[in-house]
Chains A and B, each alone.
Chain A
Amino acid sequence: MALEGLRLAMTAMPGAVPAWHTRVEPARLQDLAREVQGRGGRLAALWGTDERERGAGFALQAAFVVEASLVWMEVPLAADRPCYPNLADIYPCANRMQRALRDLLGIEAEGAIDARPWLRHGAWPADAYPLRRDVPADRTWSNGIEPYPFVQVEGDGVHEIPVGPVHAGIIEPGHFRFSIVGEKVLRLEERLGYVHKGIDKRFESLDISGGARLAGRISGDSTVASSWAYAMAAESIAGITPPPRGLWLRALALERERIGNHLGDLGYLGNDGGLAFGLAQFMRLKEDVVRLNAETFGHRYLMDVVVPGGIARDCDRAGIEAVLAQCTALEGELRVLRDIYDDHAGLQDRFLTCGILDPELAAKLSVIGLAGRASGQAWDARVAPSFEPYDRLAVNMKLARAGDVAARVALRFDEILESIRLIRAIAEGMPGGEIASALPAGLTGRGIGWVEGWRGEFIVALELAGDRVGRCHAHDPSWQNWPALEHAVIGNIVPDFPLINKSFNLSYSGQDI
């Protein structure tokens, strides 16, 4: 059992991934958080719940990953003074999550230095907490923009460049405040939350299948990962395991999502490095991938393909053959394009030593997913803890330690090739039979899902009450990785920022929820 010796009474949660639930008094939270860190673990997600209808107060909910298990700590807080000890000094990635929690639920991290709002820009007042249960779903406030105190950098010749929220390219909105001298970036400060859509609140007015649709739209580019994590949580509550064929088809969809996104990124990385040829070539390949998605699964980006209980649509033999043929074609094209990228002196000059995130800092910031693996952080939920069918496929995790744009580019090539290998193994081992099982009626309880998407791990914590969503929190890996970008860009020149940003390619929507 995970965390042996912590003297914690933990309950095993049923489901596809090893997960434990425990209740922790606020006074013990920091010690336990340090203990987890000491064992090489990390903070995976932080959210909160309003428990007043149950005769209690509020609760801080924290998910830690330690020893290839998920430990879900529930910290009860008083209704009249919902405070918990600050975690940001132990895990810097907690900072923004804590601020978001305060904005939405009014529960406060005591001793936190950064008390600025995060998701609240002025659409609701500072003393209103929209995620509380006594706030009706249709309650709105008048919208007033509040000034946001950015950290000022002072000195001779230092000036600021404000960028966004509406950016120059076709990207999501966010604000970047650069403090620079000449062309050199001294400091970047991100301000996000512009696409906060009130997803957590919205979940509470939906049933299981409505929730599944919403879960697939937390971050559109990771729809398979997030809807699988949601389905996994629902199945954990139901105590069922989808039929093997459903699970294997999910993995096929997840790997195709990974390939599609990596192809697009490789194209844009070439483009941002000045090689428009790369964009044309990789976007052509991505179009081929999404077209085949539409043919085999009925949706170009595989939305609503993963459903609680299994998968919505079977893929027949002809579909599998088409997928395999595409793997072969893609492999050949990739070999040619990778050589062209590797041999292109101008491109490599832009990629190498640009936007370095060193492994030590990456570990401190709990950086995960592709960006983490490019900086030596060996986290991949497909490898550990692994879950069906990945436990049968033995995923080869690709790692790099350089932590620069070049490493993140190389890793994308490597991961596409590994996904091609996995798809071949999936096609070979694909079991027959049903693709989904029905969920029993009247589901009540809580469950958790944990899936490695193309960007990193997606965690969904779900609470159902009589087939309705009582509370659902979906955690996108961008929460952990956005702060790392601020560090990776220091000392680089402003024109390299788009390239560095693209090499991380983080989700705004996923973190703004």
Chain B
Amino acid sequence: MYYLLKQIAKTGIKTEAPPHTDEALRVVQQRLRTEILGLFGGSLAIREVDAGSCNGCELEIHMLGNPYYNLESLGMKFVASPRHADMLLVTGPVSRNMEVALQRTYDATPDPKLVVAVGDCGCTGGVFGESYASCGRVANVIPVDVAVPGCPPTPFALLQGILTAISAGTQR
């Protein structure tokens, strides 16, 4: 226990400042009311769905939890069920074998909800495109609010996308 505590003390606090929002990532205008966004902003529950990714995006999504980005210090956490989620973080391309599972996950997520499509494949289909096995981008299967490009997008870019999704942006 002594060495464990010593290691924690030696490591110190590594957490860096979070990014600013970026309106360029928004796909559709903010649909949610400011009051709801305020609630989300205080405590956002995210369900990650790998809908066909090469697992590169998952590597970076995992990194969001490391001490440098420290997602949970921003009031955000990954939850185990879509029923507990405010936001779906979806990587793609959506494989045809995951099409129904993604649709059902979306349906199981209570309203109001937000969807962030992750990675070049989630945004456009990427190197896999559309085929007998791939539906292409996430927006081809479920509605998307914010899309974060990159192969894979860095944790910083992911955080920017998530923060943009819950910011008021240009409200109607």
Contact = CB atoms under 8 A, between A and B. Distances in A.
Nearest to A278: B4
Contacts of B66: 280, 283-284, 286-287
A166 B50 CA distance: 8
B54 A138 contact: no
A123 interface: yes
A502 interface: no
Report whether over half of chain A's contact residues are helix, strand or loop; otherwise say mixed. Answer: loop
B22 interface: no
Interface string B1-12: 001100110010
Interface stretch (A80-88, A214-222, A378-386, A406-414): A214-222
Interface residues of B, number: 51
Interface in B92-141: 93, 95-101, 105, 126-134
B78 A170 contact: yes
B37 interface: no
A392 interface: no
Contact of B132 (A130, A220, A286, A336): A130
A290 B62 CA distance: 13
Nearest to A210: B127
Contacts of A137: 131
Contacts of A121: 96-97
B98 A173 contact: yes
A220 B97 contact: no
B56 interface: yes
B40 interface: no
B131 A138 contact: yes
A281 B7 contact: yes
A264 B62 contact: yes
B58 interface: yes
Contact of B58 (A170, A202, A218, A223): A170
Interface stretch (A4-12, A62-70, A191-199): A191-199
B54 A509 contact: yes
Contacts of B78: 169-170
A347 B127 CA distance: 41
Interface in A90-107: none
Contact of A124 (B50, B81, B98, B132): B132
Nearest to B89: A170
A314 to B, nearest CB: 22
Contacts of B151: 217, 303
A201 B98 contact: no
A172 interface: yes
B4 A217 contact: no
A201 B128 CA distance: 10
B63 to A, nearest CB: 6
A47 interface: no
A458 interface: no
A300 B154 contact: yes
Contacts of A145: 100
Nearest to B55: A220
Of B66, B105, B134, B152, chain A has the most CB atoms within 10 Å of the CB of B66
Nearest to A220: B56
B80 A194 contact: no
A123 B131 CA distance: 11
B62 A170 contact: yes
A301 interface: yes
A226 B7 CA distance: 36
B143 to A, nearest CB: 18
Contacts of A300: 60, 154
Contacts of A318: none
A214 B100 contact: no
Contacts of A441: none
**Top 4 A-B residue pairs of the complex, sorted by shortest distance between their CB atoms:** A220-B56, A198-B133, A123-B96, A168-B80
Given A194-B97, A196-B95, A197-B95, 8 more contacts: A123-B133, A194-B52, A195-B52, A201-B131, A284-B67, A284-B68, A290-B63, A303-B56
16 contacts: A123-B96, A138-B130, A145-B100, A165-B98, A197-B134, A201-B133, A217-B151, A220-B54, A220-B55, A221-B55, A281-B11, A283-B62, A283-B67, A284-B66, A301-B59, A344-B4
Interface of B: 3-4, 7-8, 11, 14, 48-63, 65-68, 78, 80-82, 93, 95-101, 105, 126-134, 151-152, 154
Interface of A: 119, 121, 123-124, 130, 135, 137-141, 143, 145, 165-166, 168-173, 193-199, 201-202, 210, 213-214, 217-221, 223, 264, 277, 279-281, 283-284, 286-287, 290, 300-301, 303, 336-337, 339-340, 343-344, 507-509, 512
